[in-house]
Amino acid sequence: MLCLSSPVLVCALEIAFILDSSESALTFHFEREREFVRSFSRRITQLQVTGWYLQTRIAALQYSSSVSIVQSFANWHDLDTFLSRIDAMAYIGQGTYSSYAISNATELFVRETKEENVRVALLLTDGVDHPRNPDIIAAAAEAKSHNIKLFTIGLSSMVRDSHNRAKLRAVASAPSHQFVHSLSDPDLEERLHQELVMSTTPDMKPCE
């Protein structure tokens, strides 16, 4: 991929949604997650940054006690195909192992995207992990070491708990006011849109 002949530069933007499909997330929240992914993915594909042409690919994973790749970066075709795969997702239930979700997403980024690309992961979670869930802070640190911007999006009132809220802040990239959000926020999509532009623009590099 080469820079366009005009002053506009081409940049690859890779975004992964990580959906909580555990028993504590409940079917109700899972449906809200899917609706958010449907709506925000449409906005992402229309994202514009002055002076840049964004070449965007979107992936999706869902997790509980296991992790399933719903859409990989390598198999990205178009928005309609992606949305059909989101519609076909089935609620899993079982325990919450968000560390595995983050680790699997990190592996997907490393395997299927270039290090110089802009990498963004949006972790949707109720903040309550299974007692046997591995160290989530270590999993998040590994993701960040691969230049992945990590957003956390709380699902329910559980994230108002000070312990859960602190965990979401520790998992997310810094500063927390940019990277920690709530699914119940009526302005969530607009806030995320603004934060994506603000947080990813400094990392943009022309595609080669």
pLDDT tens-digit readout, 144-168 = 999 999 999 998 766 677 788 888 9
Alpha carbon distance 105, 84 (integer Å) = 20
pLDDT of amino acid 208: 62
* 168-177 CB contacts, 8 Å cutoff, 24+ apart: 168/125, 168/127, 170/137, 170/140, 171/102, 171/123, 171/136, 171/137, 171/140, 172/140, 173/144, 173/149, 173/199
- Min mean pLDDT across 60-64, 76-80, 93-97, 183-187 is at 93-97
Whether 5 has a pLDDT exceeding 90, the answer reads: no
Q: What is the pLDDT of residue 121?
A: 98
pLDDT of 34 above 90:
yes
CATH number for 13-46+70-202: choose from 3.40.50.410, 3.20.20.80, 3.40.50.450, 3.50.50.60. Answer: 3.40.50.410
Where do the H-state alpha helices sit in 45-119? Answer: 79-87, 98-112
pLDDT at 2: 38
> Residue 123 has what pLDDT?
97
The predicted pLDDT at position 1 comes to 40
- Using DSSP bridges, classify how beta strands 118-125 and 148-154 pair: parallel, antiparallel or unpaired: parallel
Q: What share of the chain in percent tops pLDDT 70?
A: 92
What gap in Å lies between CA 200 and CA 198, rounded to an integer? Answer: 6
Whether 53 shows a pLDDT value over 70: the answer reads: yes
More confident residue, 10 or 85: 85
Domain boundaries defined on the chain: 13-46+70-202
> Regarding beta strands 118-125 and 9-20, do their DSSP bridges make them parallel or antiparallel, or are they unpaired?
parallel
Query: E strands along 72-192, which residues?
Result: 118-125, 148-154, 180-182
pLDDT greater than 90 at residue 69: yes
| pLDDT at position 48 over 90 | no
